[in-house]
Structure 1
Amino acid sequence: MRLDIDNWDPITVSEINEVFSKIPINWCIAGGWALDIHISKKTRVHKDIDVIIFREDQQVLYHYLNGAWDLYKAENGKLVSWKQGEYLGSTNDIWVSKDAYSSWAFQIMLVDTDNDEWIYRRDKSIRASKEKIMHKSQDGIPYIKPEIQLLYKAGASIIRNKDLQDFQNILPFLDTREKEWLKDAINKQFPCGHSWLKCL
């Protein structure tokens, strides 16, 4: 078990692409980096870097990363080694470092699906085609669509300052369809209202 949750030295977007382009699964950059890739501009300092994969691809991921990287499952505030052959049915986050003494290099988020649909974990009525939740940058790097990433940020139990900053930075770049999708999704999760809705 590791306790050094603040010990981050993330690798770059290009390095993530180099690692994951060799793995035969669907994946994409997530978090604040995904939003910056969408507008081709770095808007703030990123203390970590996130990658999304579909939960059903986890064993393929493990096969390709194990050995070159140390993999830890994040559960109940603890980081415990992910063992070979262990299927993660409820764990949503994997933290990755080069070895047990290295800083954290990147985080993998497992997302649920149902046949060909991505499912939003906090409200399972919010779904989209797996093929339609990702974009690709001009350099061919896959990243999660901005409206979906903003939903994850809006739907958290606590909206952090960086989440609000990301929302404000990306909002002028959202088209009408993206704004409507995000507005509808936030309304589903928060039928009593949400502070971001007045901006959409």
Structure 2
Amino acid sequence: MRTDISNWKPLTVREINEIFSDIPIRWCIAGGWALDLHLGKQTREHSDVDVIITREEQFIAYEHLIRDWTLYRAEDGKLSLWEDGVYLNTTNDVWVSKNDESPWAFQLMIIDTEDYWWTYKRDKSIRRPIADMMLKTDEGIPYLRPEIQLLHKAGGSNVREKDYRDFQTMLPSLLEQEKEWLKSSLNRQFPEGHDWLKFL
């Protein structure tokens, strides 16, 4: 079990693309990098890099990554080795490094899907077709749609200052339908209201 949670030396987005382009699964860049890819420029420093995969394709990802990487499941505040053949039913995050002493290189975010639909883990009534979740850069790098990424940033129990700044940075570039989807989703998750709604 590892406890060095701040020991990060993240790969670049291009390096991630090189790795995952050879794995026959649906994947995309998430987190702050997804928003920067949408804008076509880096707006702030990023301490890590997140990659989304689907739960149903986790074994395919595992079989390819384990050849060159060490994978740790993150659950209940602990990091433990993801061992061969163990299906992750409830784990949503996997941290990846070259070996058990090297810095963390990237993080896998495992999402739940059913019948070609993605389901938001914090409110199962919020869904989206999997095929409609991702966009691509001109270079062909897939990334999570900005309105979906912003919902994840807004929907946590503790909205961080960097999440609010990301929202403000993205707001001028969001299309009306993207704003409407985010507004509708926030209203559904937070019927009592949310601080970001006044901007949408």
TM-score normalised according to structure 2 size:
0.99
Residue type matched to 2:64 in 1?
Answer: Y
Matched-pair identity in %: 60
Distance 1:16 1:171 in 2: 27
C-alpha separation between the residues in 1 aligned to 2:151 and 2:81?
30
* 1:62 corresponding residue in structure 2: 62
* Deviation readout 1:172-194 (Å, 9 max, x if unpaired): 00000000000000000000000
Q: Report how far residue 166 of structure 1 moved.
A: 0.5
Q: 1:164-175 residue pairs with structure 2 within 5 A?
A: 164-175=164-175
Corresponding residue of 2:101:
101
Q: What is the total number of aligned residue pairs between the two structures? A: 200
Give the Cα–Cα distance (whole angstroms) in 1 for the partners of residues 11 and 165 of structure 2.
23
Show the 5 A alignment for 1:125-164: 125-164=125-164
Quick one: distance in 2 between partners of 1:14 and 1:36? 13
2:181 and 2:103 mapped to 1: Cα distance? 37
TM-score (norm 1): 0.99
- 3-state SS, counterpart of residue 72 of structure 2: strand
Deviations 1:91-140 (A, max 9, x none): 00000000001000000000001111000000000001000000000110
Q: Which SS does the other structure have where 1:143 is aligned?
A: strand
Q: Helix, strand or coil for the counterpart of 1:88? A: coil
- Cα RMSD for the two superposed structures: 0.4
Residues 47-66 of structure 1, C-alpha deviations (whole Å, 9 max, x = no match):
00000011100000000001
Report the residue type matching 2:110 in the other structure: L
Q: Which whole-Å CA distance do the structure 1 matches of 2:28 and 2:20 have between them? A: 9
Partner of 1:45: 45
Q: Which runs of 5+ in 2 are unaligned?
A: none
List structure 1 segments (4+ residues) > 4 angstroms apart after TM superposition: none
Alignment-mate amino acid for residue 71 of structure 1: L
In structure 1, list runs of 5 or more residues that go unmatched: none
Query: What's the CA shift for 1:67?
Result: 2.6
For the residue of structure 1 that corresponds to 2:29, the secondary structure is: strand
TM-aligned CA deviation for residue 41 of structure 1: 1.1
